[in-house]
Amino acid sequence: MRLNSIIPLAFLLALYSCSTRPIITVLCEKDYKGNYILKWETYPEIDNASVEIFESDNDSVFPSTPTLVASSNDYIAIIKDSLQNRPLRHRKFFKVKIAGIVSDIISNRFFELDSVQNFRDIGGYITNDNRRVKWGKVFRSGSIRHMTTGDSLELNSLDIKTVIDLRSEDAKIQSIDRYHNVNYVRLPIAIDGYNSITKKVLEGKFLRDDAIMYMQSTYRDMVYNYTQQYTKLFDYLCNEKNYPVMLHCYLGKDQSGMAAYFLLKALDVPMDDIEMDYMGSAIGIDRTKLVKNADSLSESRQEAFTMLTKTDLAYLKYGISCIREKSGSIENYLVNELGLTPEKRNKLKKILLY
């Protein structure tokens, strides 16, 4: 499956004012040609109102003149990427104004890359105190070991300064020669990774129940035995000079998923949005690209492979249950195990929140 224009690549944005004003929901996607697709809804519905779309190359300064004017009844607009034929694309940010109500900053969450799975921005989420996680600061991803020249150009255009590799201890360290002036950090979490387990699956030595037990064991292991690595991760995240940061594991869903959970929790993002971010891997991972001729595997092998690679909220919830088992509460774990004191969390919020 190839990511395309109909797959959602960003999150829902809602603007709240008083109870008499409409709620605006805006969705930003990016198609395989590099064009941006903006979709909007209003509640209650605003009929035939002017929709002004403002476009910028950064999230700090927007022009006073809209790039495009549409009608609220259109529900969708396509912003063509004028730089799509050049070597480097500049990421676009948008604000949408409908009937005098202006949305917050929006952009695409997912990036379509040739050989890097599940690459996405964790910006844009609203916190419990109505602040917003900054776009373009923290990216999460699957392995970048086999990235193409096109992938490296796309990632370099995001000005990533720090790459944090969370893959297991048995993973081969990839070359990052295509990056310039990047700080590569190795924080291996877990001993045996997907490569060794996938080999067992293909040999028929690892079945569905084995895969479920392996995934549960992985999440328990991350919670109980790798707090030092996650603590070091937050040391890097608390240094503003390291940004933008990309953290990745093999598929970008487990070690990276727990890292994103800890970070968004520390920033006071609501659990519904944290779960939505976790489940985003269901969109970002194409399992058919992981193993050649996966569809031709025996039924038992396919079941085991599916359980290893699927994005299942039950895995995250199991990890959270292990956190409570170990520390009594999520808050205790963040403070006592990961060293996320109020001072450190305030530093994170200063760096990462609008």
- For the beta sheet containing 23-30, the strands, ordered from the edge strand earlier in sequence to the opposite edge, are 13-15, 23-30, 36-43, 76-79
Rg, C-alpha atoms of the chain: 21
Which DSSP letter does residue 334 get? I
Contact 178, 149 (CB under 8 A): yes
Whole-angstrom distance, CA of residue 29 vs CA of residue 241: 30
Beta bridge partners, 76, equal 39
Question: Is the pTM here over 0.95, yes or no?
Answer: no
Contact 251, 145 (CB under 8 A): no
Query: Looking up tokens 């040609």, which residue turns up?
Result: 33
Quickly state the pLDDT bin for 202 (edges 50, 70, 90). confident
CB atoms within 10 A of CB 119: 24
Instruction: Give backbone dihedrals phi and psi of 324, rounded to 5 degrees, phi first.
Output: -65, -35
Quickly state the pLDDT bin for 195 (edges 50, 70, 90). low
CB atoms within 10 A of CB 242: 16
pLDDT score for 89: 55
pLDDT score for 340: 97
Whole-angstrom distance, CA of residue 116 vs CA of residue 285: 9
65: burial class by Cβ within 10 Å (0-12, 13-18, 19+)? exposed
Phi-psi region of 281 (alpha: psi -120 to 50; beta: other; left: phi over 0): alpha
CA 136: distance to chain centroid?
Answer: 11
Contact 142, 136 (CB under 8 A): no
Quickly state the pLDDT bin for 192 (edges 50, 70, 90). low
Task: List the beta strands (DSSP E) in 99-152.
Answer: 101-102, 120-121, 138-141
Query: Looking up tokens 């927007």, which residue turns up?
Result: 62
Mean pLDDT, residues 211-218 taken together = 90
Question: pLDDT tens digit string along 310-336?
Answer: 899 999 999 999 999 999 999 999 999
pLDDT score for 112: 86
Contact 204, 299 (CB under 8 A): no
Domains and CATH numbers, the chain: 13-102 (2.60.40), 120-352 (3.90.190.10)
pLDDT score for 193: 65
Helix boundaries (H) for 108-207: 149-156, 194-202
Whole-angstrom distance, CA of residue 237 vs CA of residue 243: 8
Give residue 206's identity as a one-letter amino acid code.
F
The answer, yes or no, to whether residue 300 has pLDDT greater than 90, is: no
CA torsion sign, 17 to 352 to 181 to 168? negative
The answer, yes or no, to whether residue 27 has pLDDT greater than 50, is: yes
Whole-angstrom distance, CA of residue 37 vs CA of residue 42: 17
Contact 174, 144 (CB under 8 A): yes
34: CB partners within 8 A, 6+ apart:
81, 83, 84, 89
Whole-angstrom distance, CA of residue 106 vs CA of residue 12: 9
pLDDT score for 171: 75
Mean pLDDT, residues 57-69 taken together = 93
Quickly state the pLDDT bin for 177 (edges 50, 70, 90). low
Among 50-54, 100-104, 245-249, 299-303, the minimum mean pLDDT is found in 299-303
Query: Looking up tokens 């800890």, which residue turns up?
Result: 262
Among 18-32, 90-104, 204-218, the minimum mean pLDDT is found in 18-32
